[in-house]
Chain A
Amino acid sequence: MNLYRLWRGFVAVRVNVRLMGVLRDAAGLPDIRLEVEEGSSLGDMVDRLIEELPGLEDVLIDRVLDSYAPNALVLVDGVEASNLEGSSTSLRDGSTLVFLPVTHGG
C-alpha cells in the first residue's frame, strides 16, 4: 500500500475538525486533526472521523438518508457544506471543519 501511494505520489491533506454540542460529548473531545489523501471529499473525511471516533456514528450518521445527519450543520472553512458540493466537497490542506448540531438545548 505504501509503495502504491509512493508511486501515485500520495500527498496527505491535514484537516482540523471541531465538534460541538452533543457531538463533542459523543466523541469525548472537542477538536481532532486528521490526515486524508489529497483529493478526499467531505464524505471521505466523515468516514475517517467515524473510524477514528466510533462513538460519533450514532449521532452523526442518518442511516435512512445514508448521509451525515440532517440536523447537523457542517462548515468547511466557515462555508456551510451544502453551499459547496455537500459530501462531495473536496478538502484542502489546513481546512477547518466544524460540525454543529442543530438540536441544542433551550
Chain B
Amino acid sequence: MRWAEMTLNTLIRSCTKCRRAPSVYYRPYSGERLCAACFNDSLFEKVKKTVSKYNMFEYDSRIAVGVSGGKDSLAMLRLLHELERDRPYAELVAVCVDEGVKGYRDEALSLAEKNCRKLGVEMHTVGFRELFGETMDEIAARERELGTCSYCGVFRRRALDEAAKSVDADRLATGHNLDDMAQSVLLNVLRGDVMRIDSFHPGGQSLEGFVRRVKPLCEVPERETTFYAYINGLEFQSLPCPYAEEAMRSDVRRFLNRMEVKRPGTKFIVYQTGLKIRGRGDGGVVGRCRICGSPSRGDLCRVCELSGRTG
C-alpha cells in the first residue's frame, strides 16, 4: 500500500453517531462526522422535529408538495414520503409549476415526474400561460420595470397556491432550505421590508383564501440537501435557472456562503434572528384585491399589479 493510500484511509474517521461505519460527511457547525446511513437518519429526524415544532401538519392533512425537479424539492418529497408512511390518513400530492422557461423547466418537469412515479405520488402541473396569459420567457423578453425573478417569484407563489387548491390540499409544502431562509431574512433587512420579516414563519399561517404554506426543510442547509440527493441517487435538475443571476439574492447567497466558511453556523444565526424579530401578525394582509379577489395588503395584489391588470 502506498503512503498516499494509507494517508487517505487513516483520515476517514468513524461516524460520530454509530461509531462503526466510516464517515462520509463533516458538519462544521456541529463537529459531527456522519456515515451515509446516519446522515440520512439525521436529516429525517431534523425534518420530523421541524414539522412537529411548527405543527405543520394534521394527522389527516392532504399535503400538496411543491416539486420543481430540483434537489431540494425532491429531497423533501422523499423525506415527507417516509415521514407520512406512519400516518395512514395523511396524503401527499406533488404540485409543479411550468413557468415556461424553454430548455430549463421542461427537463425539470420530466425529472419531477420520474421521481413521483418512483414513489407512487400523484403529480399535478399548472402553467404560467394558462394562469397569467404569458410564459416566463415572454415576460423576460418584454419591456419591464423589475428583474425577472420579481415576476417569477410572485407568479410562482400564486401558481403553487392555485395548484394546491385544485387538488383540495390543506397544506402546501415548499422546499425552502436553511440557506433560502437566511437569504430571505437578510434580503428583507437590506430592502427595509419590515412587513415581510413580520410574516417570516416556516410553519406558515392559516389565512382565508390561501392554502397554509409550510417549509419542512427550513433548518437543513443547502449543502446537506444536495449531499442527500446525491447519496440517495435522486435524479435532479443540475442547471440553475437562466434568469437567476439577475437577482439580488445571488449577491446575498455569495456573501452568506463566504461567511459560513469563515464562521460556521452563520446561516442558522441569521435564520434564528429572523424568527426572533418577526411579529405575530398577519403579514399585512388586510383586504382583498379588487380585480381577482385574492387576499392582499393593498387595493391590488402583486400578481394583478405585475400583470398590468388595473380593472
- Does B2 contact A100, Cβ atoms closer than 8 Å? no
17 contacts across the A-B interface (CB closer than 8 A): A21-B240, A22-B239, A22-B240, A38-B2, A69-B257, A73-B227, A79-B22, A82-B28, A90-B4, A93-B5, A95-B8, A100-B230, A102-B222, A105-B108, A105-B240, A106-B68, A106-B72
Q: Which residues of B contact A83 (CB under 8 A)?
A: 12-13, 23-26, 33
**Known contacts A93-B2, A104-B236, A106-B237, then 18 further A-B pairs from the complex at CB < 8 Å, ordered by chain A residue:** A20-B238, A21-B240, A67-B261, A70-B257, A70-B258, A77-B8, A79-B24, A82-B28, A83-B12, A83-B33, A92-B4, A102-B226, A104-B238, A105-B237, A105-B240, A106-B69, A106-B71, A106-B73
Give 5 nearest A-B pairs by CB, closest first: A106-B70, A105-B237, A21-B238, A83-B26, A70-B257
Interface residues of A in 66-93 (CB under 8 A from B): 67, 69-71, 73, 75-80, 82-85, 89-93
Most buried by B among A39, A89, A104: A104
A73 touching B2 in the complex, CB below 8 Å, given contacts A82-B28, A105-B238, A106-B73: no
Total chain B interface residues with beta-carbon distance under 8 A:
44
Question: A49 CA to B2 CA in the complex, in Å?
Answer: 23
Question: A38 CA to B71 CA in the complex, in Å?
Answer: 36
A104 touching B8 in the complex, CB below 8 Å, given contacts A80-B24, A83-B25: no
- Does A103 contact B222, Cβ atoms closer than 8 Å? yes
| Contact mask for chain B residues 8-26; partner A; CB cutoff 8 A; 1 contact, 0 none | 1001110000000011111
Q: Which residues of A contact B128 (CB under 8 A)?
A: none
Total chain A interface residues with beta-carbon distance under 8 A:
40
Question: A103 CA to B237 CA in the complex, in Å?
Answer: 10
A38 to chain B: closest CB distance in Å? 6
- Does A84 contact B12, Cβ atoms closer than 8 Å? yes
* Residue B223 lies at the interface, judged by CB distance under 8 Å to chain A: yes
Question: A77 CA to B69 CA in the complex, in Å?
Answer: 26
Q: Which residues of B contact A58 (CB under 8 A)?
A: none
A84 touching B222 in the complex, CB below 8 Å, given contacts A73-B230, A104-B239: no
B105 and chain A: residue at smallest CB distance: A105
* Residue B216 lies at the interface, judged by CB distance under 8 Å to chain A: no
Interface residues of B in 46-72 (CB under 8 A from A): 68-72
Question: A69 CA to B262 CA in the complex, in Å?
Answer: 13
B283 to chain A: closest CB distance in Å? 24
Contact of A24 among B68, B108, B175, B238 (CB under 8 A): B238
* Residue B253 lies at the interface, judged by CB distance under 8 Å to chain A: yes
- Does A91 contact B4, Cβ atoms closer than 8 Å? yes
| Contact mask for chain A residues 19-57; partner B; CB cutoff 8 A; 1 contact, 0 none | 011101100000000000011000000000000000000
- Does A100 contact B5, Cβ atoms closer than 8 Å? no
* Residue A13 lies at the interface, judged by CB distance under 8 Å to chain B: yes
* Residue B7 lies at the interface, judged by CB distance under 8 Å to chain A: yes
Contact of B261 among A25, A65, A84, A85 (CB under 8 A): A65
* Residue B104 lies at the interface, judged by CB distance under 8 Å to chain A: yes
B98 to chain A: closest CB distance in Å? 14
* Residue A6 lies at the interface, judged by CB distance under 8 Å to chain B: no
Q: Which residues of A contact B222 (CB under 8 A)?
A: 71, 102-103
- Does B24 contact A76, Cβ atoms closer than 8 Å? no
Question: A35 CA to B262 CA in the complex, in Å?
Answer: 32
* Residue A64 lies at the interface, judged by CB distance under 8 Å to chain B: yes
- Does A105 contact B70, Cβ atoms closer than 8 Å? yes
Question: A65 CA to B237 CA in the complex, in Å?
Answer: 28
B28 and chain A: residue at smallest CB distance: A82
Q: Which residues of B contact A65 (CB under 8 A)?
A: 258, 261-262
Interface residues of B in 246-293 (CB under 8 A from A): 253-254, 257-258, 260-262
Q: Which residues of B contact A90 (CB under 8 A)?
A: 4, 7-8
- Does B239 contact A21, Cβ atoms closer than 8 Å? yes
